[in-house]
Amino acid sequence: MADTTTGTDLGRRLARLEERTRALEDEREVTRLILSYGPLVDSGSADAVAGLWDTDGVYDVDELLMRGQDQIAAMVRSDAHQRWIAGGCAHFVGPPRVTVAGDDATAVSYSLMVTHEDGGFVLRRATANHWTLRRADTGWRIVNRTARVLDGRPESPALLASGVSTPVPNEERA
């Protein structure tokens, strides 16, 4: 009787631990996915960059809206992007603040674009990023990344605020 009780109790504690570990792993996977963007884009790894997104994922930058993996890969292969790489370029993505809720996640991060020009380095852009992600069969993928440059346009602070308030279903208690 005592053994049965213990077994049941252990099973419950184990199940709770499995859930907590899964939550930590999910957040780690999402973080790692986001941190793959810079090294892949700055090395011109076009297919691998596109593969961070869902098949029909969206990458919405101020001056450019990309829908689907083909358009994202095309951006990496473009002459403009290849010139950045050839000249020297860092898409420095800051540590994301991630919120996971089941099979959905959101994240907010800053990114800096640094380029090498005339023998020196130039901070070309500081950008607000809002990411939504979804768990696919093969792991987490980006559904939408919206990036707005922090040049005073009101959208950018709004994007930062929405990333922290995290309007994700079943959000943890604040």
Contact 72/50 with Cβ under 8 angstroms? yes
Rounded least distance, CB 169 to a copy of itself, Å: 19
When asked if residue 11 is in the footprint of a copy of itself (CB under 8 A), the reply is yes
Q: Cβ of residue 107: shortest distance to a copy of itself, in angstroms?
A: 10
Of 77, 101, 104, 110, the one binding a copy of itself (CB under 8 A) is 110
Interaction between residue 96 and a copy of itself (CB under 8 A): yes
Decide if residue 40 touches a copy of itself (CB under 8 A). yes
Site for a copy of itself in 148-167 (CB under 8 A): 149-153, 156-158, 160-161, 163-164
Residue placing its CB nearer to a copy of itself in the complex, 7 or 67: 7
* Contact call for residue 95 and a copy of itself (CB under 8 A): yes
Structure tokens at 120: 């020196």
Contacts 24+ apart (CB under 8 A), 39-47: 41/76, 41/81, 41/91, 42/85, 42/89, 42/90, 42/91, 43/85, 44/76, 44/77, 44/81, 44/82, 44/85, 45/76, 46/73, 46/74, 46/76, 46/77, 47/73
* Cα separations in angstroms, 59 against 38, 84, 95, 114, 145: 14, 19, 19, 20, 5
Q: Which residues of the shown chain bind a copy of itself in the complex (CB under 8 A)? A: 2-4, 6-7, 10-11, 13-14, 17-18, 20-21, 24-25, 27-28, 31-32, 35-36, 38-40, 42-45, 48, 85-90, 92-98, 108, 110, 112, 114, 116, 121-126, 128, 149-153, 156-158, 160-161, 163-164
